[in-house]
Amino acid sequence: MKSTKGITLIALIITIIVMLILTGVTMNIAVNGGLFNNAQRAVDDTNAEVSSTQDRVDELSGVLDDVASQQDEHNWNRAGDNITCNHCGLSFVIGDYLGYTPDATSQTVTITSEEAGDENDYYYDSTSNTSDKTATVTTTEIKETISNPQVVQTDFPTTQTFTQETGHYWKVLGIEDSDGNGTNETLLIKMASPTENGLYLAGPKGYNNGIDILNKICKELYSSSRYGEARSIKIEDVNNCFQYKPTGGMYYYNGSWIETNGFNTQIKNLPTWETIKANGTYTPDGTNTEEALGSYKVDRYYYYVGGLYYINNAVTGAKTYISLNELCTIFLDINSNNTSYWLATKGVVCNTFVGFGLGAVDYYSVYSVLSMLYSSDSSGRYEYLGICPVVCLKDEIPPKINGPEISIPNYEL
């Protein structure tokens, strides 16, 4: 848009000379009267003015470009469980099925035990409540212990291979301002039920790498070159959908769970700190010092989602009623056999030691940390849970389709 249109001195002088000839003024009078010096000033002033005007025009056209590009973006707004776009008029209800199909059906993602952890990172026997590496169970048995995962095993997979599972349905989950410009340009959809084949994570490696592993599997297997990129679901997605704002971390003390005031309480400030550090000061990053362990913040929390459509704070029992009945079915698909899945969210949980793990959705509960993978007494654990991809739709939106009816959980807690 930048141009250099102004006037040149030579053009102005030619114009003046023509005018002088027409009006009969002699060249001598004109030169002695300083006419051409004044002409130079006139040219300079005019060109300065043109330049500043051009700058203003450029500025305005920049603003116009921004407005034009924003008009190309979706502008999603949520009222209750209705989501509407102010830009194109598209409208959905949270939980609507969309006809989304990912690309890359032939692709394979392989995760090694170097990334996900293995039996060397796992040795805790819940039966004897001791570390015990001698017991052996099979992979099938491991899968059967999802509800009570703390069983010693020694045949942890050295590689886990994932391919895209076909036939999954996808549901509208929510909206997001992915680029942080103040407009919700992204419509989020989630896989209706988590993957049939789950992911093992164990020990400090599982804790350190779990989020990256989950996002990698989702991105490579469940993205679409046409519609958008996939990532793993995380706890913020669940909270945003319920419009639930957790109020504090939770820790265990004197036989019950206690809630901190917010999420800034460091472990070294807990009443259990003396006990905790006496039991070991191992941290998953390998620093293994009192200072490092004590600096972690208590950010574990969980809540129940009841069939009477409330969220139940697990510590206070305070119930936040959800007016949106169908929301429960977004996360808790009781028609499916595999309702537990990872959240790509790290956290710590405190008792008489500190547990490090990833969050999960487990039947009727949402946890910022369900799956403890490593603890400050150096015992490692593992968990096997499903994967739930979320796709970020920024431009083209798949059509609404009919999907299976999901029973609303009728479960009072």
Q: Which lies closer to Zn ion via its Cβ, residue 184 or residue 223?
A: 184
H or E element at residue 65? helix 35-71
Shortest approach of Zn ion to residue 206 CB, angstroms?
A: 40
Q: Look up residue 213 and give its two tokens.
A: 């592993």
Shortest approach of Zn ion to residue 90 CB, angstroms?
A: 5
Q: Which lies closer to Zn ion via its Cβ, residue 73 or residue 299?
A: 73
**Which one-letter DSSP state was computed for residue 166?**
P
> d(Cα 285, Cα 204) in Å, to the nearest integer?
7
Within 8 A by CB and 6+ apart from 3, the residues are 54
Binding positions for Zn ion, rule: CB under 5 A: 74, 85, 87-88
Q: Which lies closer to Zn ion via its Cβ, residue 70 or residue 150?
A: 70
Helices and strands (DSSP H and E) totals, the chain: 10, 21
Shortest approach of Zn ion to residue 157 CB, angstroms?
A: 44
- Bridge pairing between strands 382-385 and 199-202: antiparallel
The distance of Cα 257 from the centroid of its chain, to the nearest Å, equals: 28
Q: Which lies closer to Zn ion via its Cβ, residue 87 or residue 319?
A: 87
- CA triplet 322, 325, 331: central angle to 5 degrees? 90
Shortest approach of Zn ion to residue 80 CB, angstroms?
A: 19
Shortest approach of Zn ion to residue 84 CB, angstroms?
A: 9
Q: Are 144 and 153 in contact (CB under 8 A)?
A: no
Bridge partners of 346? 358
Shortest approach of Zn ion to residue 228 CB, angstroms?
A: 14
Residues comprising the chain, all counted: 413
Q: Which lies closer to Zn ion via its Cβ, residue 294 or residue 398?
A: 398
Q: Which lies closer to Zn ion via its Cβ, residue 100 or residue 124?
A: 100
